[in-house]
Amino acid sequence: MELVQCRIVTDDVERLAAFYVGLVGVQVVLNEYYVEVHAGPVSVGFSKRRFTEYHHCSPAATADGGQDRAPETVLDFLVDDVDAEYERVKALGVEWVMPPATQPWGNRSMIFRDSEGNLINVFSRPQRRR
């Protein structure tokens, strides 16, 4: 089994997909129902919330028939140089959780939220000594 896509359910497919198009630096045709943004060997998909709701049969359904918010997700994007990407990402107007920092395990990482609050970790791995 291999992961081929991570999909985010949203009420505003075009807006959220446009954010990821700018982040990843690709071009796709946007629409209001479903969009895939290819990001290396996997893609990030965006679908309209109404197409994925389970309503009353879902264990997460609330008393009024609505849905509780799904558990938080982090999308991890590997880049060659986090610091080189920082200014470009900053220009997207993201909500920063952590500016570029070196983690105790050696990865250089920055964490921010997309326009709907989903966490994004952009990281680079240290060069390993031979």
Q: How does pLDDT run across 71-90, given as a tens digit for each residue?
A: 467 898 999 999 999 999 99
**What is the reported pLDDT for 106?**
86
| Predicted confidence (pLDDT) per residue in 12-54, tens digit | 999 999 999 999 999 999 999 899 999 999 999 998 877 665 5
Structural domain including 8 reads 1-70
The answer to whether 15 touches 35, Cβ cutoff 8 Å, is no
Strands (E), 27-118: 34-39, 42-48, 74-78, 95-102, 108-113
Question: What is the average pLDDT score of the chain?
Answer: 82
* pLDDT of residue 112 exceeding 90: yes
Q: What is the pTM of this model?
A: 0.68
Does residue 41 sit in the same domain as residue 79?
no
Domain count, the chain: 2
Does residue 6 sit in the same domain as residue 66?
yes
